[in-house]
Amino acid sequence: MIRAILRAPVDLLWNGGIGTVVKASDETDADAKDRASDSIRVDARDLRCRVIGEGGNLGLTQSARVEFSAGGGLVNADFIDNSGGVDCSDHEVNLKILLGLAERRGELDRPGRDALLLEVTEDVVDHVLYDSFLQAQILSQEVAATTSRMYAYEDLMAALEGEGLLDRDVEFLPSSEEMAERRRANRGLERPELAVLLAYAKRALTGALLRSDLPEEPFLAAALRGYFPPLVVDRFGHLLDEHPLRRELVATIVANHVIDALGPTFVSRLMFELGAQPAEVVRAYLAARDLVDAVGRWEAIERLDRSVDRGAQWELMEGLDRLVEATARWYLRHAEPGFDLRTEIEDGHRAFRELAEILPSLGAEEWREL
């Protein structure tokens, strides 16, 4: 009966339990490393669902996810589908650390802390859900662009291997030879493979930022304040500089934002193209993002969901992404190293807005229609 349920023709197969119940067709049951589920396990190619959601861990082998995705199914990875729980736990821990500082200062007692945590629950939930949305959204964008970025993915994997962060065999990622074969076949990476690269790119960028001075940038105080609920910041924002994980928080927040906005290869591509360091690329990105009002524009495009054709929405998003990347590339080529972010953004913001307002009227009508 369980095998029949797993192979049922449904929209969604939701795995919320324990056991590795799907393997790839070229894997043995031993490869799944879960002897208790051998009698109910099925092959990914035999699934007839359209989407797999993973509420539990290790419900599918990674090779099974790739096989299902290659056959046209939609699947992420367990660590993507379960990211909300991890994110929520991180928020809880970091909130309690901050409020613990307030307790030790005598600015808050334990009943007051507990009441405040309850009061900001919905704010944390909204923050976590939006983080998860952005991560899923960039994966969808990468799937659409994957065949055109195979060299960039290869460069990223090689760089991660060089840093000792990635083992392709362990993560079931294609070798250099397999990447070349996929390029010749005009086949890109599958969504579960992109999910792995997304996670490793975030980890690598966070580490690089921690090894730089960028987390000390005063401009990034706003990113730290934005991580915490406004009610907490209003009362205890003066303690944020004393948070023992402040640098780690800033580096993680910024790395997540950069990669969720422009994808796992954005930083590595500009590093290889221009010989820049990761922190320099991120500084250029931050200037470009705020100079062109990208955050507000991204959110406006996201609000169009279901009200316009999905293709048109992606086209708008990709156009804005290209604008941010091109502007960041300009900063890397022309701005002074370590330029002041606040000054640069304030100086250029008004001029960009004026240009944006008149841009629709520039050029001949035939050019504007293009």
Range in 127-141, 151-165, 299-313 with the lowest mean pLDDT = 299-313
Residues 76 and 199 sit within 8 Å (Cβ to Cβ): no
Residue 73 has pLDDT above 70, yes or no: yes
Same domain, 122 and 22: no
- Nearest in space to 128 (alpha carbons), one of 254, 227, 9: 227
- The pLDDT tens digits of the residues spanning 221-272 come to 999 999 999 999 999 999 999 999 999 999 999 999 999 999 999 999 999 9
CA–CA distances in Å: residue 169 to residues 62, 95, 204, 244, 253: 11, 38, 18, 37, 29
Asked if 75 and 103 count as a contact pair (C-beta separation under 8 A), the reply is no
Question: Quick one: 220 and 314 in the same domain?
Answer: yes
- Quick one: 202 and 316 in the same domain? yes
pLDDT of 368 over the 90 cut: no
Residue 319 confidence (pLDDT) above 90: yes
> Does residue 11 sit in the same domain as residue 118?
no
User: Does residue 178 sit within a domain?
Assistant: no
Residue 349 pLDDT grade (very low, low, confident, very high; cuts 50, 70, 90):
confident
For the cut 70, the answer to whether the pLDDT of residue 135 exceeds it is yes
What does the pLDDT look like over 154-210, one tens digit per residue? Answer: 999 999 999 999 999 999 999 999 999 999 999 999 999 999 999 999 999 999 999
Instruction: Evaluate whether residue 154 is within a structural domain.
Output: no
Residues 101 and 207 in one domain: yes
Residues 243 and 335 in one domain: yes
**What proportions of the chain, in percent to the nearest 5, are helix, strand and coil?**
70, 5, 25
Number of domain units in the chain: 2
- Which of 114 and 348 is assigned the larger pLDDT? 114
Report the distance separating Cα 73 and Cα 49, nearest Å.
Answer: 7
Asked if residue 287 has pLDDT above 90, the reply is yes
- φ, ψ of residue 14 in degrees (nearest 5): -105, 120
334 is in which domain, residue-wise? 83-128+190-255+265-361
pLDDT at residue 81 greater than cutoff 90: yes
| Structural tokens at position 196 | 């792995």
Structure tokens that stand for 192 in this block: 């579960």
156 falls within a domain: no
pTM as predicted: 0.93
Q: What is the mean pLDDT of the chain?
A: 95
Question: Across the strands, what pairs with 141?
Answer: none
> In terms of Cα–Cα distance, which of 138, 165, 94 is closest to 256?
138
* Any domain includes 96: yes
- Asked whether residue 333 is assigned to any structural domain, the reply reads yes
Q: Are residues 203 and 302 in the same domain?
A: yes
Q: Are residues 298 and 319 in the same domain?
A: yes
Residue 142 maps to a domain:
no
Q: Do 93 and 45 share a structural domain?
A: no
Question: Please, what's the b/e burial string for 72-109 (b: 16 or more CB within 10 A of its CB; e: otherwise)?
Answer: ebebbbbebbbbbeebbebbeebbeebbebbeeeeebe
CA 301 to chain centroid, in Å, comes to: 18
Question: What average pLDDT does the segment 105-116 reach?
Answer: 97
Query: In terms of domains, do 234 and 121 share one?
Result: yes
Query: Is residue 301 a part of any domain in this protein?
Result: yes
Which letter does DSSP use for residue 220 in this model?
Answer: G
What phi-psi label fits residue 320: left (phi over 0), alpha (psi between -120 and 50 degrees) or beta?
A: alpha
Q: What confidence category does residue 306 fall into, taking pLDDT thresholds of 50, 70 and 90?
A: confident
Domain shared by 8 and 88, yes or no = no
* Helix/strand/coil for 78: helix
- In a domain, residue 220? The reply is yes
- Asked whether residue 25 falls in the same domain as residue 98, the answer is no
Q: Are 183 and 143 in contact (CB under 8 A)?
A: no
